[in-house]
Every structure is written in structure tokens, then in C-alpha cells.
Amino acid sequence: MPSFDADALATRAAGGEAMQAFAPFVPTMLGGSADLAESTKTVFKAEPSFNRERAGRNVHFGVREHAMGAIVNGMALHGGIVRPYGSTFLVFADYMRPAIRLSALMRLPVVWVFTHDSIGLGEDGPTHQPVEHYAALRTIPGLTVVRPADAAETVEAWRFALEDADGPVCLLLTRQGVPALERDGSASPSGLVRGAYVISDAGARCDAVLAATGSEVALALEAQAELAADGIAARVVSMPSWELFERQPEDYRTSVFPPGVPVVAVEAGVSFGWERYADRTVSVDRFGASAPGSEVLRRLGVTCEAVTAAVRAIV
């Protein structure tokens, strides 16, 4: 699998590089995108396309997300060793929800790759900016939803999907570049397989926990530094998958979220569901807006200032 330097990189781009790396070793994986392969970065390079004259690994599904989902499920049900995947923008998961639900019901070994995973995608506006979609996918029993924080976690997400998953996996990836995150000495991107892990601790004292997913983990780390300057010790937890975290033993879960320590969740989507883990949220309980991604995030309150204010309010 690839490794990455410290430059900012969209997790969709990191996912594409991971696919090129494992392609020779997973020769029966095939799939494609509903119209958007250049944007989802899910093409196996130098491989032929599938058509009526020729078998190939790249399938052009057309602008029809539900049909893509049905076809991917059908390939998995064929009975051979095919490992199929489908991809599109996250907001279009709504069009294929019945197919995603059936893949979970049947425990099919499929991968759903969804990019453009937040309001941070920018100018395409609220019709293309998912806000309720993390929560909607997490409600499907048997579906593992993974939203990696940076390129290194994206590689681990693909590794999990290929080696350890016992049913369908959704990968939620960014359009915008995200930094390669600095982790504490004992922290590793492989912590992704446990659903949540401490990416940066506050030291011996812990006044609050910042639990974040995806691109918002970098924001939580920024807030941690500002809070430390004010004498507030905040732990940062990267929480790419609720489902994987819930499978961990209780002693691990309490080691990540110590009892009695207040939690602020940071995610650029609706707050629904976070009440099981968090006392407060920095979230987006409305539709998005059309502007550059950084401006949308600022206007809708997904900012370092909002995170630090939420922590100060509960500490």
C-alpha cells in the first residue's frame, strides 16, 4: 500500500492511489462509477473497460446510481470470487439506498465508495453537499461506514474493506485536500480498525474529549492546541467508524472515552445520533450553501472557534 508525505491530499485521491497499489493482488475486484469516475478516482488505470465484446475491470454504469447498486449486488451474488465495488458522490447515495440496504441484509462483500463527502466540497452547493447522509447510512444494520481522517487512514480503510470486513463497507472520502495528521507516538492509522482511537492525548490530565471524523479531525487538533494555551487539556479522538467502535470490548471503549469526561463531537453533518457519545456537537443541522468549501465551512460554523467555544462551555 502507498505511503504519503505531509502535503495536503484529498482522501478520494489517496483512495485512488491505494486502488492502484492493490489492483494486481486483487485481480477479481471490478467495478466503477455512476458517471463520475474521474471525480471519484476509482478507475483501475491501464485496465480495459467492460463491454459486450470484452471483459474488463472498469465498468461504466451510466448515470443511474440505483441500477449500479443492483448490478454490484448481482456480481457479488454470482457465486464466484468477484469483489465488486460501486462509486459516486455521497449525496447520491439516496438514489441507491435500497441496493445498499440489500447488500447489508445479505452481508455481501461489496465496497461502496462515496466521495465529495461534506459541505467542504464547495461551489456545487446544497444539492451536492451531504449533511444527513452519514446518519442515514449509519442507521442501516450490518453496514460498516468508514470516514477516514487523512490519506494514511484511507489506506487502512481500504485494507479493512479487503481483508477484515464481513459485509458491505461504505468509504466516505473528501473532495478537498486534508493534511497528513501528526499522531502521538503510540497512535497509528491502523487504529482505524477499532473504529475510534486517541490520535493526540492531552497528557496526564483530560478535561474534555474532542471526537471527530474525516476532515474535521484536523480541525479538532487545531482546537486542541488553542485550548492548551488556555490551560484546558483536551484529548482528540479520530472516530472513523461508529460500527467498528461498537464492536470493541467495553474496557477499550472506556479507555477512549473516560467516564465522566465531557465529549464534544465535531462532524460536518447533522448532529443526529451523536447524543450516544457526545455532550455537545459542532455540526450542520441545515442544508449547505454555494461558495468555496472553506467559506461554506466558516459560514456554517464548522470552525476552530466553534469547537473551542463548545469545549469551554462544558469544562
Digit-coded pLDDT (tens) for 41-59: 999 998 999 999 998 999 9
Phi, psi of 307 (to 5 degrees): -70, -50
Q: Is the domain of 149 the same as that of 80?
A: yes
pLDDT of residue 100: 98
Grid coordinates 494555551 are at which residue? 229
Are residues 19 and 100 both part of a single domain?
A: yes
202 and 89: one domain? no
Side chain identity at residue 147, one-letter code: R
The range of the structural domain enclosing residue 285 comes to 189-314
- If asked whether residues 159 and 52 sit together in one domain, one would say yes
Mean pLDDT calculated for residue range 22-34: 94
| Residue of 60, 64, 75 whose CA lies nearest to 29 | 75
* Domain shared by 201 and 130, yes or no: no
What pLDDT is attached to residue 176?
A: 96
Percent of the chain with pLDDT over 90: 92
In a domain, 284, yes or no: yes
In sequence order, the β-bridge partners of residue 30 are 84
Q: What is the pLDDT of residue 2?
A: 87
Q: Is the pLDDT of residue 6 over 80?
A: no
Please tell me whether residues 146 and 202 are part of one structural domain: no
**H-state helical runs in 35-182:** 37-40, 65-77, 97-105, 133-138, 151-163
> Which entry of 38, 47, 53, 65 is annotated as an active-site residue?
65
19 and 135 together in one domain: yes
What is the average per-residue pLDDT within 111-131? Answer: 97
Residue 1 included in any domain: no
Are 97 and 220 in a shared domain? no
Q: Is the pLDDT of residue 185 over 90?
A: no
Domain boundary among 178, 206, 239: 178
Assess whether 250 carries a catalytic annotation: no
- 43 assigned to some structural domain: yes
Q: How many domains does the chain have?
A: 2
Q: Are residues 286 and 138 in the same domain?
A: no
Looking at residues 179-195, what average pLDDT do you find?
A: 93
Q: Please determine, for residue 193, whether its predicted confidence score (pLDDT) is greater than 90.
A: yes
Tell whether 222 is covered by a domain. yes
Mean pLDDT of the chain: 96
What CATH number should be reported for the domain holding residue 142? 3.40.50.970
Burial of 24 by CB count in 10 Å (0-12 exposed, 13-18 middle, 19+ buried)? exposed
CA angle at residue 209 from 7 to 182, to 5 degrees? 20
pLDDT value at residue 184: 87
Q: Do 146 and 198 fall within a single domain?
A: no
Question: pLDDT (tens digit, 9 = 90+) per residue, 239-287?
Answer: 999 999 999 999 999 999 999 999 999 999 999 999 999 999 999 999 9
